[in-house]
Chain A
Amino acid sequence: MAMIELKGITKVYATQGVETPVLHGIDLTVEEGEFVALMGPSGTGKSTLMNLLGLLDRPTSGTYRLHGQDLTELSDAALSVIRNRRIGFVFQLFHLLHRVSVLQNVLLPLLYTDPYPPDARERALALLQRVGLGDRVHFKPNALSGGQQQRVAIARALLNEPALLLADEPTGNLDSAASAEILALFDDLHREGRTIVMVTHEPDVAAHASRVVTLKDGRIFKDEGRR
């Protein structure tokens, strides 16, 4: 069974009576363990597709199956549980809470996890250790470099052992050294067998992926490296 199954996904934004179609019938299947790069010029619907995959938005039509479960009709509460337990997000702008420590940032998803895992702190510390920030756990995010902040965000994304890791231009705000570190981390995660979907417009970033899906004008234009 495929992990992700999109069938005939369309998305039309309606603002003040004007309808703007963004996605025109996307069919996409992602298997467990794939590292997919979503490419394409800006405005082609990469981010929209990403938001649909992340259950932050609902398609106008079409079906989305995750592990065979149809998600189209689920309530906000049910989708929130899936986001919490099965999807990890990494954003271009990191989106860390600057008022709390690095450790608290990593633990943030557990605000919404019931029951609260008893080994949460150990898990978070182990993840921070793993992304090379074991000595920074009580720092505030402001005290870290961009690359370090993104590694905190990755640790946060991994806390609930998600089945699917979604990354939206994770290196878009980083210099090349930091980008290399982050991409190496994603390579590791891929080797461990995690499923990753990453939006990027840089071909050398996409080169890290096992499969590159290119969008153009809201349609899948190219799909290379598919298993």
Chain B
Amino acid sequence: MERAQAALALPLRKTRTLPLPVGPARLWRLCRHAAGALWSQKGKAFLMMVGTAVGIMLLTAVVGLSEGVEKRIQGIMATFGPRSVVVFAGGGRIEGPRSGSSSTLKPEDAAAVRARFADRAVVAAGLFRPGVNVKWGDQSVQTTVVAADPNYPQAFDWYPSSGDPLDVDDERSFGRVCLLGATVARNLFGDTDPVGQRILLNRVQFRVKGVLSPKGTSAMGFDMDDRIWIPLSTGMRRVFHVDSLSFLRLQVREGYEVSGVVEELTDLLRTRHHIVPPEEDDFRVRTPDFIAQRIRSMSRTTQTVGAALAAVALLVGGVVLMNILLLSVSERVPEIGLKRALGARQTDIFAEFLAESVLVSLFGMILGVLLGLLPVWLVPAFFPTIPMSVTWKTFAFAVVFSSLVGAVFGVQPARRAARLDPVAALR
């Protein structure tokens, strides 16, 4: 050990060697040799990789969360359409239960909006009631009823796959006709063709006019096909006996800015409802962009904290790695001297120790990714509202950051090893 210290303490020898690159064949041999050296001191190698493993584990979880969020946002965009704007009745700043009255959106508002935006958007108004009992013969299910005006299919880009759509005549005549979502059709009718059948909806008899094409599960986990459409007039007057709407839906036409429409729409409704800021709006205007931003900002804190922890773990792990490798260098001084005698250039010794550092980091990465995949798989299983997802980015980040740790923190030990005086090292 004293000898080793003496060798380390020697002044750096000046040589005219440039750090020549190591040829691929030799590099491969050196890497295999380095792997063998790590294998022969597994305990030390494990300590060297722990920090990297923890850091990469956190990184995997953070990237998994961010990928999950993006995936969910893409789902929302796909479900709502990127050019849609929805106005919900009732105030409230963010998501969650609305505050105040929810009967603030009137048919007159819908008419005014329709008049103002006729050239720029398709406007549909509607009523939304979950948990409505529906019967066919002795079959009965609970489902969501959407009472919507004839513009709704166009605004939603959603049409029947069999039968006919609800039309202006149905709206005008308070028609007792409905369209079934695919789930309702299956639950209520099984293999029977529902078109033309009669069902009871809140004890009002309806004729099934058509079945909607399936939309699947929404990004938030709702079954989009578990619903029934009826004409808006019928819903307000004959079924639910209300004079207010739940929502307005605008599908902004190509060539017009969604954000401009949102601004003007908000102003229009404020004026109509006599709301002067800072008074709180009694309605909420939502776009997929808005929802996407909300979701992003909700996960941002978690991601920032996670990323910071990952960075700290990688840094601490890197410092630990460096120190253990420095210790390893001083323990292996005679070995280094021998290798120099056998024909190792300084560059070779440097490459060998750097390879040990990078390899141990990469092993740490594998361990970290495996550990990190656990939360990525388990968290969404237990908390379905937290999206997590694995993509190539997870592995790309892991590889880049772990090899960076290995490369950066391996330089100092590798340099010390390369610059050992072979004579002193062999003594």
Q: Does B137 contact A (CB under 8 A)?
A: no
- B33 surroundings in chain A (CB, below 8 A): 111
Query: DSSP class of B's interface residues: helix, strand, loop or mixed?
Result: helix
Known: A75-B16, A97-B335, A115-B25. A109 touches B426 (CB 8 A): no
The answer to whether B343 touches A51 (Cβ under 8 A) is no
The answer to whether A77 touches B17 (Cβ under 8 A) is yes
Residue among B29, B37, B337, B347 with the highest chain A CB neighbour number at 10 A = B29
Q: Does A108 contact B (CB under 8 A)?
A: yes
The CA of A95 and the CA of B340, in the complex, are separated in Å by 12
Q: Does B374 contact A (CB under 8 A)?
A: no
Q: Does B344 contact A (CB under 8 A)?
A: yes
Q: State which size class the interface on B falls in.
A: 20 to 34
Chain A residue with the shortest CB-CB distance to B335: A97
The answer to whether A114 touches B23 (Cβ under 8 A) is yes
Chain B residue with the shortest CB-CB distance to A112: B343
Residue among A51, A56, A89, A115 with the highest chain B CB neighbour number at 10 A = A56
The answer to whether A95 touches B426 (Cβ under 8 A) is yes
Selecting from A78-86, A193-201, A203-211, the interface stretch reads A78-86
Count of A interface residues, CB-CB < 8 Å: 30
Known: A76-B15, A76-B346, A80-B344. A111 touches B29 (CB 8 A): yes
Q: Shortest beta-carbon distance, B54 to chain A, in Å?
A: 28
Q: Does B216 contact A (CB under 8 A)?
A: no
- Of A85, A89, A99, A116, which contacts B37 at CB under 8 A? A99
The CA of A160 and the CA of B16, in the complex, are separated in Å by 26
Q: Shortest beta-carbon distance, A121 to chain B, in Å?
A: 14
- B338 surroundings in chain A (CB, below 8 A): 91, 95, 97, 108
The answer to whether A114 touches B26 (Cβ under 8 A) is yes
Known: A76-B17, A111-B29. A56 touches B343 (CB 8 A): no
Known: A51-B423, A56-B423, A57-B423. A112 touches B342 (CB 8 A): yes
Within 8 A of B (CB), among A90-138: 91, 93, 95, 97, 99-100, 108-116
Q: Does A54 contact B (CB under 8 A)?
A: yes
24 A-B contact pairs sorted by A residue (CB < 8 Å): A54-B341, A56-B340, A56-B341, A56-B422, A56-B426, A57-B422, A75-B16, A80-B343, A83-B340, A85-B343, A93-B334, A95-B338, A97-B338, A99-B37, A99-B40, A108-B338, A109-B342, A111-B26, A111-B33, A112-B26, A112-B343, A112-B348, A114-B25, A116-B29
